[in-house]
Amino acid sequence: MSIPRALHPGAWWVWALGLAVAASRTTNPLLLVLLLAVAGLVVATRRGDAPWALAFRMYLLLAAVIVAMRVGFRILVGGGAGDHILIILPELPLPEAAAGIRLLGPVTAEQILSGFYDGLRLATMLVCVGAANALANPKRLLKAMPGALSEISTAVVVALSTAPQLVDSALRVRRARRLRGGRDRGLRAVHRIAVPVLVDTLDRSLRLAAAMESRGYGRTAGVSRRTRAVNGALMLVGLLGVCVGSYGLLDATAPPLLGAPMLTAGVLVAVLGLGLGGRRIRRSVYRPDRWRAAELAVAGCGIVAAIALHVPIVLSFTDLHPPVTPLTWPTLPPLAAVGVLVAALPAVLAPPAPVTMPTASATPVRVPKETHR
Amino acid sequence: MIMLEQVTFTYPEATSPVLVDVDLHVPEGELCLVTGVTGAGKSTLLGLVNGLVPHFTGGRLQGRVTVDGADTRTHPPRELAHLVGVVGQDPLAGFVTDTVEEELAYAMEQLAVKPAAMRKRVEETLDLLGIADLRHRPLRSLSGGQQQRVAIGAALTCQPRVLVLDEPTSALDPTAAEDVLAALTRLVHDLGVTVLVAEHRLERVIQYADRLVLLPGDGQLRHGAPEQLLATSPVAPPVTQLGRMAGWSPPPRSVRDARRQAGPLRQRLAASAPPPTPPPRQSPPVLTARQVTVRYGATVAVAGVDLDLAVGQVVALMGRNGSGKSSLLWALQGAGPRHAGQVRVRGVDPARLPAHQARRYVGLVPQTPADLLYLPTVAAECAQADQESGATGGTCRQLLDQLLPQVPTDRHPADLSEGQRLALVLAITLTAAPTVVLLDEPTRGLDYRAKERFGAVVRRLAHTGRAVVVSTHDVEFVAAYADRVVLLADGEVVADGPTSEVVAASAAFAPQVAKVLAPQPWLTVAQVAAALATEPVTTPGAA
């Protein structure tokens, strides 16, 4: 329905974080599976062919590992609460000091199930973050950072692009080691590789720094120490507020004052700090991503999902945590389910990712052209 | 546009200044070529123009440097970014972003150019340099010539009045170098940009230069019209040397200039002929390679190459960037991958030997010799080389002294000059006494003098019973020192034969002397000089 273009990375992140917040609110496996399906569907339909998009698989794998570990731990030190004993494992005797901890022993269905629910919740949140990573270009996200953070984002971009060069350089030196016999072992071999690589990297960094300097980087950075301190303090306090606020919001047992109000206050202070800090930076952005209808729709869908799972708890008319004792089949709360399904709309609402050109990334780990000092 | 007034510059911790009481004025719209021996201060001079020297490097600057009236003393490089664009030797090292379009926009973002203007200028620059089809490509996937053109474009988007380039073509094959230089001359002619360019290989740039700056190495600086300076300059491209020898005035700068004056010289030379290339000795090849194939994923770098190397021969391996020269050399040595085919050196396959034995058969000096060096002093490196080769103590040092006398023993290898470092790594390689010596692009970064010395070393290696392969882009070096040329394209051998045949017949790879004196088969100034010396003096003015 729409022309392919890259969506603002911020929109994808808002959407994904909305899903993650929703996931954090429930241990209902049906809802969680629905969330996973929604995230998977949107990623499958709207991700591009960039390398970061292919990392989604890794997140799924990691999520599976988390679930397995959670269940495994419940079996190992589960305590055997519940009546439905599935299997009785031999209990490992522990010394007196560790009284109250039971290793293995009877394994109950309740204990496995509660481990599974818990693990699934964590895994779903992780997959949501993975979805954001797969859908949003991390470099464009850094570009969308407010001016005050531009120095940090430049540093990150430089680090990201230097990493492959470092790998190249290490491969090259390792190969060259054979030319001198390469019979060293242990520390000497490390020395033999590390020294040329470090010399090379240092050299390169100096050249990059010189290039950035000559191209006007940090042109208007001259600010008084006092303003910088005030900005820094504002940002720090603001971010602290954001952290505490999000904790309060995500932890349903926290006092309500610690949630939304704290988050809002934190965001306000941080924005103030960013605004003040951004004023001193005079730079522009080439082809900035803009918030257009599609961006707003995508972000909105995520927020709807978060709210849909928030409301039942506040109004306490549905329990999103199905009980494990007694063992009952979980039911799908209709309102929450609809909310989660809304979050699947970006699969149609968002424009498809543009196909990047067939890159020459098929080029081998070619030993790069080097220069002389 | 660029003014240097009584400039003396000393690096921190240096005992003597690099430049002493130097004056230079480059008017607007000129293409000014800076040349001189290594270490004479070329990079320093370029750095002075945008203030990187001394703001970035440290050191003591006396005198005044102004660009378009702005004093670099009060303007750090970033404040001159809109006035001076800088392009370094290794474009990849200076890239801040990762795609072509973003790289072009980077400097403008720093200068807070309005988005609409930015967009327009990026498009213009893409067209100006002919890189519009590369706009979304990752910078790392580009070829050397493309990268260099992107780097020039990135410097141009801020519409600077001055462009400073430090050896922009040193890593490029002749054709890619032509592309870059063509782009440069276009800038000078169409946009009136003042260009200051440093280059070792004069023959590539001198014909476009309006002014020549010579740094003889004693801290002094001579500048003036190229014709005038070339008449006496210690460094000169072959075509000028030929002209000086034949007594042409002013000495020619380009093949075209020379060709127009060369009629009489061709007549004089018609009777004689260059010494015939010694017929390839009938000695059995010491290295035979059959159907050598190297691939990286789906890309085939070397596609079934057959090669025989005989003792006493210097073979030049040529071909454009990415044609598989390095991969072939590494495969022959055995340290690099080889996916098919076989290599035999004196009956054994070096790839099957343990590394310390393989290097007794085939020695390889890689493109970045520094990769082999890891000890704090030259002496320590030499001692280590003796030990790892099982040679008697002092062998490596002795070899080094034969190659290049007076390399300081206590110096850190990183502080050596390019030529010295190359000699050190070559000495380390030779300590193992290999029969076959492979050199991967050894001539880049060497000035005329160092290149001459290095050429002599290569010849001596061949005479002392070794087979030598040199991969290089430098046609003048090949013409002067190689017996045989192997030309690679796309991983395949497209030509293999005596230098005079392969090189003279090629448009891109013909040395200047061959172009001037065609159809006569002369390759180097030395050949012509020898022929003129034996000829009875009949014409006045002959050298």
**Does the beta-carbon distance from A373 to B414 stay under 8 Å?**
yes
Q: Is the pLDDT of residue B501 over 50?
A: yes
**Does the beta-carbon distance from A364 to B98 stay under 8 Å?**
no
For strands A85-88 and A106-108, give the pairing: antiparallel
- Region A109-138 average pLDDT: 90
Q: Is the pLDDT of residue A363 over 60?
A: no
Which of B113, B135, B114 minimizes the C-alpha distance to B124?
Answer: B135
**Does the beta-carbon distance from B296 to A282 stay under 8 Å?**
no
- Judge whether A188 is closer than 8 Å to chain B, CB to CB: no
CB B42 within 8 A of CB B220: no
CA distance A149 to chain B (A): 14
What is the pLDDT, as a whole number, of residue A281? 64
What is the pLDDT, as a whole number, of residue A14? 92
Lowest mean pLDDT among A9-23, A157-171, B216-230, B351-365: A157-171
- Judge whether A187 is closer than 8 Å to chain B, CB to CB: no
What is the pLDDT, as a whole number, of residue A298? 92
Query: DSSP assignment of A198-259, as one string?
Result: HHHHHHHHHHHHHHHHHTTTTTT----HHHHHHHHHHHHHHHHHHHHHHHHHH-TTS-GGGT
Residue A370 with chain B: CB contacts under 8 Å: 90, 367-368
The span from the CA of A196 to the CA of B372, in Å, is 7
Higher pLDDT, B189 or A231: B189
Residue B322 with chain A: CB contacts under 8 Å: 366
- Region B187-200 average pLDDT: 89
Q: Is the pLDDT of residue A367 over 60?
A: no
Give the pLDDT band (50/70/90) at residue A370. very low
Higher pLDDT, B505 or B399: B399
- Region A204-216 average pLDDT: 87
Taking CA–CA distances from A190, the nearest residue in chain B reads B374
**Which candidate in A162, A206, A215, A356 is best for mutational testing of the B interface (most B CBs within 10 A)?**
A215
**How many helices (DSSP H) and strands (DSSP E) are in chain B?**
22, 19
Q: What phi and psi values does residue B146 have, to the nearest 5 degrees?
A: -65, -45
What is the pLDDT, as a whole number, of residue A37? 95
Residue A164 with chain B: CB contacts under 8 Å: 140
CA distance B493 to chain A (A): 20
Give the pLDDT band (50/70/90) at residue A362. very low
Average pLDDT, chain B: 88
Picking from B92, B109, B445, the nearest residue to A283 by CB comes out as B109
**Which candidate in B108, B118, B169, B374 is best for mutational testing of the A interface (most A CBs within 10 A)?**
B374
**Does the beta-carbon distance from A157 to B326 stay under 8 Å?**
no
Q: Is the pLDDT of residue B540 over 50?
A: no
Q: Is the pLDDT of residue B322 over 80?
A: yes
Which pair of structure tokens corresponds to residue B191? 């946009």
Query: B192: burial class by Cβ within 10 Å (0-12, 13-18, 19+)?
Result: exposed
pLDDT digits (tens, 9 = 90+) for A43-66: 999 888 777 777 888 899 999 999
Q: Is the pLDDT of residue B542 over 60?
A: no
Residue B367 with chain A: CB contacts under 8 Å: 367, 369-370
Q: Is the pLDDT of residue B420 over 80?
A: yes
**Does the beta-carbon distance from A208 to B84 stay under 8 Å?**
no
Give the pLDDT band (50/70/90) at residue B233. confident
Percent of chain B with pLDDT over 70: 97
- What are the b/e assignments for B357-373, b being 16+ CB within 10 Å? ebbbbbbbbbbbbbbbb
Residue B86 with chain A: CB contacts under 8 Å: 211, 214-215
Residue B445 with chain A: CB contacts under 8 Å: 371-372
Query: DSSP assignment of A277-289, as one string?
Result: HHHH-----SS--
Give the pLDDT band (50/70/90) at residue B320. confident
The span from the CA of B413 to the CA of B421, in Å, is 7
Residue A283 with chain B: CB contacts under 8 Å: 109-112
What is the pLDDT, as a whole number, of residue B19? 93
Higher pLDDT, A244 or A363: A244
What is the pLDDT, as a whole number, of residue A313? 67
Q: Sheet with B84-87: list strands edge to edge.
A: B84-87, B162-166, B194-198, B31-36, B211-215, B222-224
Q: Is the pLDDT of residue A79 over 70?
A: no
The span from the CA of B60 to the CA of B62, in Å, is 7
Q: Is the pLDDT of residue B213 over 90?
A: yes
Higher pLDDT, B11 or A97: B11
Interface of A with B in 269-308 (CB under 8 A): 282-288
Lowest mean pLDDT among A254-258, B220-224, B464-468: A254-258
3-state secondary structure (DSSP) of residue B288: strand
- Region B170-191 average pLDDT: 85
pLDDT digits (tens, 9 = 90+) for A124-156: 999 999 999 888 877 778 777 776 677 777 777
What is the pLDDT, as a whole number, of residue B520? 85
Picking from B77, B122, B142, the nearest residue to A214 by CB comes out as B77
- Cis previous bond, A333, omega within 30: no
Under the phi-then-psi rule, with left for phi > 0, alpha for psi from -120 to 50, and beta for the rest, what region is A361? alpha
Non-local (6+) Cβ contacts of A169 within 8 A are: A196, A197, A200, A201
What is the pLDDT, as a whole number, of residue A222? 56
The span from the CA of A324 to the CA of A330, in Å, is 9
pLDDT digits (tens, 9 = 90+) for B82-125: 999 999 888 888 888 878 998 999 999 888 889 999 999 999 99
CA distance B83 to chain A (A): 10
- Judge whether A211 is closer than 8 Å to chain B, CB to CB: yes
- Region B437-441 average pLDDT: 94
HSE (side-chain half, CA atoms, 13 Å) at A323: 6
CB A49 within 8 A of CB A355: yes
- Judge whether A183 is closer than 8 Å to chain B, CB to CB: yes
Picking from A139, A192, A371, the nearest residue to B89 by CB comes out as A371
pLDDT digits (tens, 9 = 90+) for B12-71: 888 889 999 999 999 999 999 999 887 788 889 999 998 998 998 889 999 999 999 999
Taking CA–CA distances from B412, the nearest residue in chain A reads A199
* ipTM at complex level: 0.86
Q: Is the pLDDT of residue B536 over 70?
A: no
Average pLDDT, chain A: 80
Give the pLDDT band (50/70/90) at residue B175. confident
**Does the beta-carbon distance from A161 to B95 stay under 8 Å?**
yes
Higher pLDDT, A146 or B485: B485
What is the pLDDT, as a whole number, of residue A319? 67
- Judge whether A209 is closer than 8 Å to chain B, CB to CB: yes
- Region A283-311 average pLDDT: 86
What is the pLDDT, as a whole number, of residue B13? 84
> Taking CA B333 as the corner, what is the angle to CA B332 and CA B338, rounded to the nearest 5 degrees?
55
Q: Is the pLDDT of residue B543 over 70?
A: no
What is the pLDDT, as a whole number, of residue B447? 82
Lowest mean pLDDT among A19-28, A120-129, A233-242, B15-24: A233-242
Residue A363 with chain B: CB contacts under 8 Å: 141, 296, 299
